[in-house]
Chain A
Amino acid sequence: MRLSLLRLRRHKDFVGPERRLQRRRTIGRRLWPYLFVTPAALAIAAGFLYPLAKVVWFSFYSGSLGALTYVGTANYTGLWQDPVFFQSVLNNLKLLTTVPIMTILALLIALILNAQIRGWRQYRAIVFFPYILPATAIGLVFGYLLERNGVLNTQLRHWQLGWMAKDWLGSAADVVPAIGGVIIWQQLGFGVVVFAAALLAVPQELVEAAKLDGANGWQIQRAILIPYIRRTIEFFVVVEAITVLSSIFTYVYVLTKGGPAEASSVMEYYIFENGFENGAIGVASAAVVVLLVLACVLIGFYLRLRASGADTGR
């Protein structure tokens, strides 16, 4: 999922100021908003709503385009019996553990940066940098770094840590953690920047008052800073969870192509493989519906967080 920190902006009532204008409006003038939103509405209808309806429809059909036959819920029962689909869902769930890791790491780094230590702006810029890079190129680089005799393992052996060296992308046991590591490497900086910005907004008086009361650095962080940016943390967690559940295809495709033997397949990869390598668009569509149901839970949290911002004004 695409993000920017701007998503953290809160809801405001947007009809309020409009009322003042309303009085002067003639009937002819009321038409313009419809003209202005028509292109966006058409694009959303054709590019989002129609495909979403169509994918649900496809999930009850089998065969290729032009020769589709209705099969009822056979695609869904097929998913249920497919160990590869189970493995894919399981891998998505395993990768969700990257979210708490990322959140805690990003929070720690942001708290260090927040102490305004020398060079904090530069550090922030460097840590954020991986986030803007194409996952494709990142995947190519890490593909070589994580090879059996790649740079990572060579260095580990060099440091007498040979027991930590693994066939990261080639063994079924280590491949999912390896992909998770790459995801953390790229997404961490986003969290750092979000949290650092939120921390900057904490009123200095709060911190000063706590200091006067004799609170030490750790107490201030735990009792004041972290609670103050709680909403931002919640947002980050939900947004990253949606990302890890549904937008990590590129890492998997470039690093492993789902291998070895489907051990690192995720739902997106399963959809891609069935829809386009195997030509089973019905199966792929059923998997999309399952993914959407799972994602909807998170999207619900996301929308609720957004809406709650309007009530509290914070």
Chain B
Amino acid sequence: MKRVSVSLVQQALLILLSLVSLYPLWFAVQTALKTPQAYALDPSGLPRAPTLDNFLSLFDVMPFARWTLNSIVVSFVSVAAATLIAVLAAYAIVFGRFLGQRVFFNLNIALMALPPVALLVPLFTLMVQVGLINTLPSVTLVYAVLLIPFSVFFLVNFFRELPLELIEAATIDGASHMRILFRIVMPLSVATTATLVIVNAIWVWNELLFALVFLQNNSQRTLMAGLTLFQGRYSTNEPLVMAGAFLSILPLVILYLASQSFFVRGMTAGIGK
């Protein structure tokens, strides 16, 4: 009897927790489906006459489609560059031997914990000097660099689990290390690399600080930087702002629903056996 009541309390707690976790997203959705008048009358109620007008006017009042495209391009290019650079470095750290190997790896670990804001001012002045400020390549380059330490760390930990005999055998057969990496190691690392790419892409998609400072031209913003502009201009049009917020979250929701277990498994792969 006591056991049943304990588990009921636990279930109730977890349901409450789930509601608290999901409510803000639900609020964004239901607000986005209301007219501003309907929201003013009843901010927390269900939309009586749902409308998609807010989603449509997003694309009229601001270059929302352009921002979305910018975010996609920036995420894609920076993550691809960081992954490639990190794969090469991680392979050398695990299977090669070079001067400063341990120092280099430890440097990557330390830099993972470095606050990005520390780099903001000097990277800004650097981008001004090389004439990239207000262009998408500025943030793309910065993101690619910022992703490297974590990516190296992540890949090194995975590469160490690979059977060394495979690499050894290929070396004896005279295969070049480039070939071993892309023909043997990478095919074995598809799931790991995919996890890394997703985690990194989400980070780039969500990044605000550098995007805000580096991109001041309206058509050159990323989605997150654009959203804050929205907030400034249309803060009294709650449904419009919520429509923008919801659309910026939507790709993440889809990704999470599609690969949630893979996600959690991938992100917890390092602890517990």
Docked-complex contact B118 and A254, CB < 8 angstroms: no
The answer to whether the Cβ of B137 comes within 8 Å of any Cβ in the partner chain is: no
Q: How many residues of B contact A (CB 8 A)?
A: 110
In the assembly, what is the distance between CA of A236 and CA of B52, in Å?
A: 42
Docked-complex contact B27 and A15, CB < 8 angstroms: no
Given contacts A9-B271, A34-B98, A151-B43, contact A44 B148 (CB under 8 A): yes
Which B residues are in CB contact (< 8 Å) with A267? 117
Given contacts A151-B44, A253-B208, contact A143 B231 (CB under 8 A): yes
Docked-complex contact B122 and A54, CB < 8 angstroms: yes
Which B residues are in CB contact (< 8 Å) with A140? 28, 227, 231, 241-242, 244-245
Docked-complex contact B224 and A136, CB < 8 angstroms: yes
Docked-complex contact B268 and A132, CB < 8 angstroms: no
Given contacts A48-B114, A127-B21, contact A58 B249 (CB under 8 A): no
Which A residues are in CB contact (< 8 Å) with B171? 21, 24
Docked-complex contact A2 and B118, CB < 8 angstroms: no
Docked-complex contact A281 and B272, CB < 8 angstroms: no
In the assembly, what is the distance between CA of A271 and CA of B268, in Å?
A: 34
In the assembly, what is the distance between CA of A253 and CA of B115, in Å?
A: 16
Docked-complex contact B209 and A272, CB < 8 angstroms: yes
Which A residues are in CB contact (< 8 Å) with B271? 5, 8-9, 194, 197-198, 201, 232
The answer to whether the Cβ of A160 comes within 8 Å of any Cβ in the partner chain is: no
> Which of A22, A30, A40 counts the most B-chain CB atoms under 10 A from its CB?
A40
Specify the chain A residue showing the minimal Cβ separation from B151: A40
Q: How many residues of A contact B (CB 8 A)?
A: 108
Of A83-91, A95-103, A115-123, A219-227, which binds chain B? A115-123
Docked-complex contact B11 and A117, CB < 8 angstroms: yes
Interface residues of A in 271-314 (CB under 8 A from B): 271-272, 275-276, 281, 284-285, 288, 291-292, 295, 298-299, 302-303, 306
| Interface membership of chain B positions 12-26, coded 1 if the CB is closer than 8 angstroms to chain A and 0 otherwise | 011001101110110
Docked-complex contact B21 and A129, CB < 8 angstroms: yes
Task: Identify B146's interface contact among A47, A50, A193, A200, CB under 8 A.
Answer: A47
In the assembly, what is the distance between CA of A185 and CA of B20, in Å?
A: 8
Distance between B215 CB and nearest chain A CB, rounded to angstroms? 12
The answer to whether the Cβ of A215 comes within 8 Å of any Cβ in the partner chain is: no
Interface residues of B in 211-226 (CB under 8 A from A): 212-213, 224
Sampled A-B contacts (16; CB under 8 Å): A6-B267, A6-B269, A54-B122, A55-B118, A58-B121, A109-B14, A117-B10, A119-B11, A125-B261, A129-B21, A141-B245, A144-B31, A150-B43, A197-B272, A267-B117, A292-B118
